[in-house]
Amino acid sequence: MFENLSDRLSGVFDRLTKQGALSAEDVKTALREVRVALLEADVSLPVAREFIKAVEKQATGAAVTKSVTPGQQVIKIVHDELIGVLQGEGDPGKLKIDNPPAPILMVGLQGSGKTTTTAKLAKRLKDREGKRVLMASLDVNRPAAMEQLAILGQQIGVDTLPIVKGEDPVAIARRAKTQASLGGYDVYMLDTAGRLHIDHELIAQAAAVRDVANPRETLLVVDGLTGQDAVNVAEEFDDKIGVSGVVLTRMDGDGRGGAALSMRAVTGKPIRFVGLGERMDAIEEFHAERIAGRILG
């Protein structure tokens, strides 16, 4: 997930720990390399800058440079700062689904992995929390996407709202709500239409559905491989629709990881889950400590 960044950082820190005694200048030099590594991982410039500033402030003082293990101390500071950058409030994996039936709105661009993630989360809620989940596709312009959700539903044993031709997304959302109440479901998930770019129609549709469903969670699915673009997409969706969290997909790929590091700092929104493959169980909740551990190798 963070192979390149992780390799680069371990190179820098190996040298630092081998050096033994460290001057403030040695630490600064090492942190310049860390900064370059972060930027190469596609971390946004202001985030990288702030990060290095915060580390430098703590790591160049006498308490570190005069300690017996200065290199280790610098690593510990970087580790803690990474957690600070990554961590949102509360438990990322805990979806707000009290008061059944709880609506969850899924939004994102086409191809981001939205439908797959909808099904993965539904399966998770069913398997781990014993919830009865109903999924509905609102992608009326792409019958194949509606069909895809129905197929995934069958695969994972989660019900999908029957497809009615000619219905608009708001009507589908209303029907999902009624069906979820009458059918005694705990959660209903609305998989909204995706498009290749954020356009007026996409936003207007998602906003109309949001206003009808009054979702407990609005999860934005973004492709982690797209780096800073993923962060820009998140900013725009949050601005126009309001999201309660982000799911970063394709974190199993060889992406540079920058999106994970910049997301919360830039958008103020926590990453809640990461997608780690195409299989229905390839999803993990986003744990800042675990991710920081992976980055530092």
Among 8, 114, 177, 264, binds ligand GDP (CB under 6 A): 114
- Spatial CA neighbour of 164 closest among 153, 155, 175: 175
Is 134 annotated for ligand binding? Answer: no
Is 114 annotated for ligand binding? Answer: yes
Segment lying near ligand GDP (by CB under 6 A), choices 80-88, 232-240, 256-264, 271-279: 271-279
Give CA separation, 196 vs 12, 108, 246, in Å: 39, 9, 18
Provide the minimum distance between the beta carbon of 152 and ligand GDP in the complex, in angstroms, as a whole number.
9
d(CA 271, CA 285): 9
- Spatial CA neighbour of 158 closest among 111, 113, 125, 197: 125
Segment lying near ligand GDP (by CB under 6 A), choices 30-38, 41-49, 236-244, 245-253: 245-253
Sheet with 283-285, side-by-side order of all strands:
159-160, 133-137, 187-191, 102-108, 217-223, 245-249, 271-275, 283-285
Among 278, 281, 289, 297, binds ligand GDP (CB under 6 A): 278
Do β-strands 245-249 and 271-275 pair in parallel, antiparallel, or remain unpaired?
parallel
Residues sharing a CB contact under 8 Å with residue 239, sequence separation 6 or more, in sequence order: none
Among 160, 244, 249, 262, binds ligand GDP (CB under 6 A): 249
Kindly determine how many residues on this chain lie close enough to bind ligand GDP according to the rule CB under 6 A: 18
Residue number with CB closer to ligand GDP (9 or 107): 107
Is 179 annotated for ligand binding? Answer: no
The closest residue (CB) to ligand GDP is 275
Residues sharing a CB contact under 8 Å with residue 274, sequence separation 6 or more, in sequence order: 1, 224, 247, 248, 249, 251, 260, 283, 284, 286
Torsions phi, psi of 248, nearest 5? Answer: -95, 120
116 binds ligand GDP (CB under 6 A): yes
Residue number with CB closer to ligand GDP (14 or 278): 278
Segment lying near ligand GDP (by CB under 6 A), choices 73-81, 113-121, 154-162, 236-244: 113-121
Among 20, 111, 157, 184, binds ligand GDP (CB under 6 A): 111
Amino acid in position 138: L
Is 111 annotated for ligand binding? Answer: yes
Do β-strands 102-108 and 187-191 pair in parallel, antiparallel, or remain unpaired?
parallel
277 binds ligand GDP (CB under 6 A): yes
Segment lying near ligand GDP (by CB under 6 A), choices 209-217, 238-246, 260-268, 276-284: 276-284
110 binds ligand GDP (CB under 6 A): yes
SS3 content of the chain, % helix, strand, coil (to 5): 55, 15, 30
Residue number with CB closer to ligand GDP (71 or 270): 270
8 Å CB contact between 104 and 272: no
Among 92, 101, 258, 275, binds ligand GDP (CB under 6 A): 275
Amino acid in position 257: G
Among 44, 73, 87, 112, binds ligand GDP (CB under 6 A): 112
Helix (H) or strand (E) holding 39: helix 24-40
Binding site for ligand GDP (CB under 6 A): 108, 110-116, 194, 249-250, 252-253, 275-278, 282
Binding residues for GTP are 108-115, 191-195, 249-252
